[in-house]
Structure 1
Amino acid sequence: MKRKKNSVGFQFELFQEETKSPFDKLFDIFKELITHTSGDFDEAMDWLEQLDQEYQLTDENYTLDDFVEDLKEKGYIREEAKSDGTFDKKITAKTERAIRKNALNQIFGQIRKKGAGHHKTNSSGLGDEHTGDLREFRFGDALENINITESLKNAQVNHGFGNFELTENDLIVEDTHHKAQMSTVLMIDISHSMILYGEDRITPAKKVAMALAELITTRYPKDTLDILVFGNDAWPIQLKDLPYLQVGPYHTNTVAGLQLALDLLRRKRNTNKQIFMITDGKPSCVRMPDGSYYKNSNGLDDFIVDKCYQMAAQARKLHTPITTFMIARDSYLQTFVDEFTRSNRGKAFYTGLDGLGEMIFHDYENNRKKRIR
């Protein structure tokens, strides 16, 4: 039921569920498929056609051809000419934004945009976000934070109702919290093990990255987010590259990822900095001073592991916490992540892919409240 107000009070009428158009229903599925295919339109449409045959998603009134035409008309795909005179269909920036928003709704669906893009810290005083609490005036408090009504009441109590006088000791202000900017680097493991044994770990990790990026850019626009991927080496990627991210035939050079993350953060003027690392936990590669690679995929190599511990300790000295989200449950890898976390005094979560986005948001919020100095 939904409530409708009239001149007498309220009356009730039957609630009518919002119905989606045939395009919107197919577009929801398309956004999932295009994420799994890393932006490959033709492959996504092949999958959509198979689903259509099995589940009768379309009918004679609205076909897949109609859907493709609508995608073009609405600006979600574009056509690029090939040398043989045919055309390739590519998704557009509008689709990339829709995919990020879809990931945000799936992973952080309970979050709503508010404020100007800052977070509270645990420090109160000369801040800029009202807490709802009242306190006495202190030297340096902003005049606009003075609560006139409560101050006048206080003056009447202090001086009597017949003798109005307002002094500094009568003033009551609304308490505030500081808001701090945060610079975050998100590291995504794209080594071959992220799709090993038939388990797709990269697609959910990629969706979390898109959701986090959309969250920061819409709710916390004054924060910064850098995204990097690491395999044999590490390199930064753009926000627009996320839907196209794929695993490569790489080992896992965690050290290179951390070195690049710290280098990116050194360039930020914010005091508050942090690193999120999504990985299946096993470092297996480092680059040597002569440019060669030392690789070992058999268990945990002491030489590689020690390099990781050194990077964790270096980040700690730079007051940069590392939160590791390990999406595997091997006990020997958990032992490594435990020691890595102790070296950094950071945090670690051991999880499958369920709940990963919720934990990332929770820790992002917690770090934003703590990292003010």
Structure 2
Amino acid sequence: MAVRYRFRRFGEGDDFDDVDAEDLLGRLVDDLLEDGDLEGALDRLLREGFETEAGEHVEGLTELLDRSRRRRRELEAQADPSGELERYREWLEHVESLEATGLEGLLEEAEASGDERRREVTRDLVDQRRMQRDLMSERFTDRLGEYREYEFVSAEAREEYERLMAELERDVLDTYFRQSKEFLGRPDPAELARLREMMDALSTMIEQDRRGEPLDPSFEEFMGRFGDYFPGAQSLEDVVAMMAERAAAAEAMFNSLSADQQSELRALMDQLLGDLDLGFSLTRLTANLREATPQIDWNRAHRLRGDGGSFARSADALEQLGQLRQLEDFLGRADPAQGLPEVDVEAIRRHLGDDPARHVERLQRALRALRESGFVERNGRRLELSAKGVRQVGQLALRALFARLRDTPELTGHASATLARGGDREETSTPWEPGAPVTLHLGHTLYNALVRQGPGTPVRLHPDDFEVEEYEALRRSATVFAIDLSLSMAMRGNLVPAKKMVLALTQLIASRFPRDYVAVVGFGERAVELRIEDIPSLTIDYNYGTNLQHALALSRHLLRNERGERQVVVVTDGEPTAHLTATGEPFFAWPPVRETLDKTMAEVVRCTRAGITINTFALDIERSQFPFVEQIARVNGGRLFYTDVDDLGAYVLDDFVTHRRAV
């Protein structure tokens, strides 16, 4: 076989060991031939990943899913809005403690002053403040708001309350408007008004878009005024996605709490947003975002187990958790080959890092190359090998068999398993491959060079221009491969090597001996002629029986009009256990009855009289079955090989090449 080399320009972002379509197909072959399901084999490869020829592991989707789940657990351990709610509650209790201390201090000063009027006024003031506080709600959120109307006696308590409210307001705003952090700092009336204007404009645009109306303001006008809130947004869809993911994260924060905690936090948020005059605008916008993003799960909840942190920090974590869940929906799809192209590589990079993103990119490139190669095609909803793909599988199997012959000299007496060139020259030519004999077809080679470079002299030849003459073998031959499809072939692991052997040999015959006749017969309970393109998806016959009699009869029928050397190559792992009756119905018996053996041997005799050679390759056959296959060889004069499954292809290839040269 000619050695093949591939050259390409190396560019930025390329990997020397990237997997191309041929490499990917080669990794699919064994799994594909096992059960004939190309889509299943491809899905398993994409899920499990693989090793490159350089020894680098390319992670599959299952490993990437595991990475994402680990990252989710890390994020869940960083968020705890219930802890933050408790922190604010304790902060308010601290404010109340400062105020109580201030009231006590004020009363003590008045008592110590000796001024009765001062004592009386102070007692009235302290009693009034205490009564006012006693009448406040026990509910934290209500109590927090009621202090807005309370006149603090303690300056320290008043300052602490102002700090509490300032931080809480920033936290609430940052929870819903992550993009606003750097602009808002402490809530500023002008910036709050601008934020409200942005929400109203965005709601209007979403509603107009839903009705199919022109946008007013236009997207460009909107971004000109509010683009600093949405860095990187290129469309209204981008803006909606940014806002929706953040709003959904806030909803997930509520949903992740107990019913009581959720009620309390919602009340707190509503109160603060209402105080900031943002409540109506945000409610309207959230409703529009929900309707515009049906793909987002607005009702999701997470098991948060962090150690506190701000509401905004929880929202940050929950936003990432939502995006990770969407990634996992793609990574975990039942049909990875369909879902993989839709995976957002930049989202993988953002959440999981550069290495996982690189793995996904390589899987996507390999899958895209496979689809663009023409090796596969879609038949309805089913992904199948094309005729080109079947030929490529045969070529891959053939290379592997030649390599095994080269590396395992004990399998053959030949120094190398190359094909000799001999015979009459054909009128046809074929593109030259590195390593093949250079017997140039001058006319075709010069024509290719002129097509490539255009008219003019001198004509400069390039290796891609070379076409070599093909030679016809001195005598043609006809071969039928008869493959045992009984249940034992699959149970013993013999079916896949047998299919690889057939694909390799049919590819060899098609490429090197194009005038030869080749056919394939599969036999179990019955025998049937197989199309070569159906062999990769071929499975066993689940009906009981090894009907060699029918297989030989069908092979003889297929060879009836062929001239020259004719042979049937039988690959089996057991003795005949079935035959066709006079009515054409299959008969099975185990152990085999005399009638089955007699009818099978009668067919051997018919093949022999017709000049058809039967060469038998017995796989892992039991010694008790030796007499029958040996009797076939004695009666027919064909060759008999006892081989294990690992050597089957090499034995058949060596025998075929040796005797095909000799004819």
Q: Please, what TM-score do these two structures have when normalized by structure 1?
A: 0.70
The equivalences for 1:197-276 within 5 A come to 199-250=492-543, 251-268=545-562, 270-276=563-569
| Separation in structure 1 between the aligned mates of residue 378 and residue 530 of structure 2, nearest angstrom | 24
The match for 2:46 is 49
Show CA shifts across 1:305-363 (max 9, x none).
11122111222222211000011230111121111221212111111112212221232
Partner of 2:585: 292
1:302 partner amino acid: R
- Which residue number in structure 2 is paired with residue 319 of structure 1? 611
In the other structure, the counterpart of 1:70 is: 369
2:634 to 342, 345, 352: 342
Aligned to 1:167: none
TM-superposition CA deviations, 1:58-91 (whole Å, max 9, x none)? 452242344322322333333455xxxxx54333
Report if aligned partners of 1:230, 1:254 keep a CA contact under 8 Å in 2. yes
Q: What SS does structure 2 have at the residue aligned with 1:108?
A: helix
Unaligned runs of 5+ in 2: 1-14, 60-355, 407-416, 426-472
Structure 2 equivalent of residue 356 of structure 1: 648
Q: Which residue pairs with 2:483 in the alignment?
A: 188
Secondary structure of the residue aligned to 2:600 is helix
> How do residues 65-104 of structure 1 correspond to structure 2 at under 5 angstroms?
65-81=364-380, 87-104=381-398
Q: Please say if 1:35 is aligned against 2:328.
A: no
In structure 2, what is the Cα distance between the partners aligned to 1:20 and 1:112? 29
Q: Give the conservation status (yes or no) of the 8 Å contact 1:76–1:91.
A: yes
The percentage of counterpart residues that share the same residue type is 25
CA contact (8 A) 2:401 2:653 kept: no
TM-score with structure 2 setting the length: 0.40
- Aligned partners of 2:497 and 2:649 also within 8 Å: no
Query: Structure 1, residues 6-44: CA drift from partner, whole Å, max 9, x if none?
Result: xxxxxxxxxxxx954233544431233323331x23311
Partners of 1:53 and 1:356 lie apart in 2 by: 26
Task: Please state how far the C-alpha of 1:236 moved relative to its aligned partner.
Answer: 1.0
Letter in 2 for 1:184: T
* Structure 2 counterparts to residues 140-155 of structure 1, below 5 A: none
Residue aligning to 2:3? none
Inter-partner Cα distance in structure 2 for 1:281 and 1:186: 16
Aligned mates of 2:19, 2:572 — CA distance in 1: 38
Q: Distance in 2 between matches of 1:347 and 1:331?
A: 18
CA change 1:180–1:88 in 2 (3 A) is closer
Aligned residue type for 1:74:
S
Distance in structure 2 (CA, Å) of the matches to 1:235 and 1:219? 26
Asked if the contact 1:108–1:211 (Cα under 8 Å) also holds between the matched residues in 2, the reply is: no
Separation in structure 1 between the aligned mates of residue 661 and residue 594 of structure 2, nearest angstrom: 36
How far, CA to CA, are the matches of 2:487 and 2:30 in structure 1?
22
Instruction: Give the count of matched residue pairs.
Output: 287
Query: Which residue in the other structure is 1:168 paired with?
Result: none
Cα distance, 1:282–1:218 mapped onto 2, change above 3 Å: same
Query: 2:616 is paired with a residue of what secondary structure?
Result: strand
CA offset digits 1:175-200 (Å, max 9, x no partner): xxx8211111110111112123xx21
CA RMSD of aligned residues (A): 2.7
Rounded Cα–Cα distance in structure 1 between residues aligned with 2:365 and 2:657? 43
Q: Distance in 2 between matches of 1:255 and 1:94?
A: 33
Name the aligned partner's letter for residue 505 of structure 2.
L
Structure 1 portions without partners, runs of 5+: 1-17, 82-86, 119-127, 130-177
Greater Cα radius of gyration, structure 1 or 2 = 2
Task: Name the CA distance, whole Å, in 2 between partners of 1:62 and 1:114.
Answer: 44
